[in-house]
Amino acid sequence: MKQALGFKPVPMAIAVAIGLLIWFVVPVPAGVTANAWHLLALFVATITAIIGKAMPIGALSILAIALVALTGVTSDRPATAIADALSSFSSPLIWLIGVAIMISRALLKTGLGARIGYVFISLFGKRTLGVGYALAAAELTLAPVTPSNTARGGGIIHPIMRGIADSFDSDPEKGTQGRIGKYLALVNYHANPITSAMFITATAPNPLIVELVAKASGSQVRLSWGTWALAMLLPGLVALALMPLVIYLLHPPEIRRTPDAAGFAREKLRERGPVSRDEKILLGVFALLLLLWAGVPERLLGPGWAVEATTAAFVGLGLLLLTGVLEWDDLLKEKSAWDTVVWFSALVMMATFLNKLGLIAWLSSSLEGVIESLGLDWIAACSLLMLAYLYAHYMFASTTAHITAMFAAFYGAGLALGAPPFLFALLMAAASNIMMTLTHYATGTSPVIFGSGYTTLAEWWKTGFVMSLVLIAVWVLVGATWWKLLGYW
């Protein structure tokens, strides 16, 4: 029977109550305008509704756009207010992610994503540890062109992982998950946050970080696709090298040698036959995109050959449509892309105007005052900010909601406390992905893999916490040193 309402009453009531409380009851602090405070009320109510899953995030975003325009918190003129509410739909970064999700649909349609996974398994799958590294390598290969980390880790890699586990009769329903399945499931999952941190286009919220960093730093720090990829390359590779080993020590599999895994992968490749025309075209388009996103033509031929990242994405999508690898109906069916464009635009719009109206500066100043009272130097103070930001994710079921709610204020406070802008931006960007390790509800990939039953809740949380410590150490020690050598700070 169809639900009578389009929302969940209890979480929606809580969100509305919190918004009304901030708007009408809590006094507007000194130094904050009434419009800024009222926009904060709408913003907090929206984030609360997202956390409580009162409605799908896209539907909540439509309501947020309507309320921002209707209440006139950005402008007293109705025409300007609706233009402000819709302003982020023209953001190139938002369309970069939307178009990249559409392009990534071709991985599933052509079967290229699964083929890449099986190729790595066939090469490195003679030992269980090798299978773990093969899964991580497949994740890394797909990450630059798969902005949905859930589609990548849960939709492409996870079925491959389950097929391998099944081939060794490692089945949670039989109580044999400890043979190999538990280990592979945890590697499958923990590769996902690492690869998500390595490219702007590896997970949807990363472009939001780029926008927030640019605004908070007064455009002093602008993270291009190539800059982000180069910065995250070394710490990401070190993290991917360590992760399967750490999980191997935490949850040693009963089966250590797996020659059948390589044979299983080769059999799957034989079933798929030779690389198809569409797969070859898709590989060519991916290669072109990576060259353009990395700025290779500009470096080799001069500034006149520069191609903006979103333009490159549209070119790639156009080529896939022209060659018939994708059809327009495929794009219409790609609901996650259109959904992302809508909710991203709404959240970026609200964050932008909170910054323009001075609210973010006020929040950052307040945080700065609290940290300063502890008498810490900037290194200790910013470490505290980053750790508080990261582990606050235990309270969030959405990386987007978490980043939108907290990133700008914490990053701004770090700058005010003396952190080098580029260094702190990269550390906070890394933390925004590392936090996915923590819980079974941390991001869209986690319930997919946790729900397959290979681990207990206690095992998942323990592994997540340990991996968060390992990844923080890698990005702080290896990352900061690497960025110093690159001259980023």
Write out the DSSP string of 367-433.
HHHHHHTTT--HHHHHHHHHHHHHHGGGG-S-HHHHHHHHHHHHHHHHHHTT--HHHHHHHHHHHHH
Distance CA 450, CA 320 (A): 34
- Residue 376 pLDDT exceeds 60: yes
Q: In the prediction, which pLDDT does 223 show?
A: 92
Phi first, then psi: give them for residue 154, nearest 5 degrees.
-90, -35
| Ramachandran class of 169: left when φ > 0, alpha when ψ lies in -120 to 50, beta otherwise | left
Structure tokens at 429: 């960007």
Q: In the prediction, which pLDDT does 427 show?
A: 97
- CA distances to 57, 376, 390, 471, 480 from 383, rounded to whole Å, are 31, 10, 10, 14, 13
How far does the chain reach from its first CA to its final CA, in angstroms? 59
Going by C-alpha positions, the residue among 248, 209, 240, 224 that lies closest to residue 140 is: 240
- CA distances to 192, 251, 320 from 181, rounded to whole Å, are 17, 11, 36
- Residue 456 pLDDT exceeds 70: yes
Going by C-alpha positions, the residue among 450, 259, 481, 359 that lies closest to residue 36 is: 359
Going by C-alpha positions, the residue among 71, 88, 86 that lies closest to residue 37 is: 71
Distance CA 474, CA 368 (A): 26
Distance CA 410, CA 382 (A): 9
In this prediction, residues 32-58 reach a mean pLDDT of 91
Going by C-alpha positions, the residue among 233, 311, 264 that lies closest to residue 131 is: 264
In this prediction, residues 76-101 reach a mean pLDDT of 90
Distance CA 325, CA 356 (A): 43
pLDDT band with cut points at 50, 70 and 90 for residue 1: very low
Q: Give 328's contacts (C-beta < 8 A, 6+ positions apart).
A: 321
Structure tokens at 190: 């923990």
The helix/strand/coil state of 25 is helix
| 487 CB burial (10 A radius; 0-12, 13-18, 19+) | exposed
In this prediction, residues 385-396 reach a mean pLDDT of 89
**HSE of 381 in the Cβ direction (CA atoms, 13 Å)?**
23
The helix/strand/coil state of 222 is coil
Distance CA 400, CA 53 (A): 13
In this prediction, residues 213-228 reach a mean pLDDT of 89
Phi first, then psi: give them for residue 288, nearest 5 degrees.
-60, -45
Distance CA 288, CA 284 (A): 6
Write down the mean pLDDT value for the chain.
90
257 - beta bridge partners?
127
Structure tokens at 159: 């079925």
In this prediction, residues 413-436 reach a mean pLDDT of 95
Quote the percentage of the chain above a pLDDT of 90: 55
Q: Do 181 and 321 form a contact (C-beta atoms < 8 A)? A: no
Distance CA 327, CA 386 (A): 44
Distance CA 192, CA 136 (A): 8
**HSE of 468 in the Cβ direction (CA atoms, 13 Å)?**
25
pLDDT band with cut points at 50, 70 and 90 for residue 191: very high
More confident site: 441 or 247: 247
In this prediction, residues 185-191 reach a mean pLDDT of 96
Q: In the prediction, which pLDDT does 3 show?
A: 62
pLDDT band with cut points at 50, 70 and 90 for residue 132: very high
Q: In the prediction, which pLDDT does 411 show?
A: 93
What letter would DSSP give residue 460? H
Contacts of 2-7 with C-beta under 8 Å, sequence gap 24+, read 6/55, 6/59, 7/54, 7/55, 7/59
For the ranges 343-357, 432-446, 466-480, the maximum mean pLDDT occurs at 466-480
127 - beta bridge partners?
257
Kind and range of the H or E element at 162? helix 158-167
